[in-house]
Copies of this chain bind each other. A is one copy, B any other.
Amino acid sequence: MSANPTSCKVVLAANIAKKLQAEVADGLAKLDRKPHLVGFLANKDPAARMYADWTGKTCIDNGFAFTLRECEREELEEAIRDANADDTVDGILVYYPVFNSSRDRTIQYIVDMHKDVEGLSPKLINNMYQNIRFLDPPHNTQKSILPCTPLAMIKILEYLNIYNTILDYGKRLWGRRITVINRSEVVGRPLAALLANDGAEVYSVDVTGVQRFSRGQGLRNQQHVVEEKPDMTMEDCLAISDVVISGVPGDKFKVPVEKIRDGAVCINFSSEKVSSPLNARFEETIEKEKENGEADMTTQHEQNFTPAVKEHASIYVPAVGKVTIMILLRNLLVCTAMARYFRSLTPSQLSALKSLETPSNISNHPIASEENTSTPPIDSMLSSSILPERIDKTNVETLLNETADELKRMVQNNPDVDAKPAEAIERAGTVEEAVPAGKAAA
């Protein structure tokens, strides 16, 4: 018997992002002008400027137009409203923190939902928590965009085969225990909710303690429920988790890697600023080191995991930013196509669209009590099923097809939808239909 070093697989976000990047390039080729993203920088933080520069470079490298608009923070709200009303602006991104207080959330709400490439508008967030994946149920033609970083994390977990494609959509994480260290409103908590809605048993950890997000034994509940776990510590969660995702900002917090279950999958997003998905300093450094032939995975780069993680984990993903920005560019593509379609409509078509508008869903969720203060130029993005004309339908359909995975997930998860396209795409005859326990026990 020979002793070998551990052989944790380190998977870089740049490689995970390649498929998404190709999808974005295909979608872009179908548009007649470059989608235009405007970034707002209203602070003097050199790090924020670095992220802004990286955003711009990535946009341009991928064939998009990018403008950085700098202003004083008291001028920011007005500047965002101008961009909301400007037809030459397809997507809006704000570099946070601005006031570094609750006022930042108010700014977030000013961004037009239909230009919100980060997917952080209140209605979008609210829909996500309730596992409602369309803006216009029960018509279900208008996708409710998911927040960038949580969706990027899902793409990463799919790439790593943590989602089991043998199971039906909406259940593919069943049997997985996942610890998420970070419960921010923009990443940690929405991520825990999404993973639990897909079937995982999620342990959400922050300084206030542990919460469990799950759909209950046998996934009996259609959406997740949250339980306080006052008796559990982070170490308890690590010991039972197949996947550990950590994103505590800064370089002080470290996951006690010796408590991680052997063979777990570990994902770090601590170098990303949690209020913006675009901090990729770590990855840039890694890439530069690779180019210079001096890649040294021991450098900390503000990771939540020390190098010893590789003595315990089967797979380690040191950063996620390059996947996140591809999700953002894909959202920008969808926003652009939807807006172009909308602008091509006649006044009577606009009325038809307006009649489709649905009121916000009633919810006890705290976020639901906060009103969307944005001033959208349109009431509803699109409902091709009732429109008398189908201008640019090809482009819109193409873009929607490119997000087919999300759509399938949404339909499967939505209790109001009768049609289940996910079942139709299972390979015919290879996997039996699930037998409901109720019937089996009869």
Q: Name A residues whose Cβ lies closer than 8 Å to a Cβ of B.
A: 1-12, 15-16, 18, 159-161, 164-168, 171, 174-176, 199, 201, 217-223, 225, 240, 242, 261-265, 297-298, 307-308, 310-312, 314-315, 415, 429-432, 434-442
Contact = CB atoms under 8 A, between A and B. Distances in A.
18 contacts: A4-B219, A4-B221, A5-B439, A6-B217, A8-B435, A8-B437, A9-B432, A9-B434, A11-B432, A15-B429, A18-B429, A161-B165, A175-B263, A175-B264, A175-B265, A201-B263, A217-B262, A307-B441
A310 B218 CA distance: 8
B315 A167 contact: yes
B314 A10 contact: no
Contact of A174 (B11, B314, B415, B432): B314
Contact of A217 (B9, B222, B312, B439): B312
A258 B358 CA distance: 44
Considering residues A165, A171, A219, A221, which has the most beta carbons from chain B within 10 angstroms of its beta carbon? A219
Given A9-B166, A12-B432, A164-B161, A312 B218 contact: yes
B311 A218 contact: yes
Total copies of this chain within the assembly: 2
Q: Is the interface of A mostly helix, strand, loop or mixed?
A: loop
A225 to B, nearest CB: 7
B314 A175 contact: yes
Nearest to A426: B9
A159 B438 CA distance: 27
9 nearest interchain CB pairs?
A175-B263, A6-B218, A5-B436, A174-B314, A5-B438, A174-B263, A6-B437, A7-B434, A175-B314
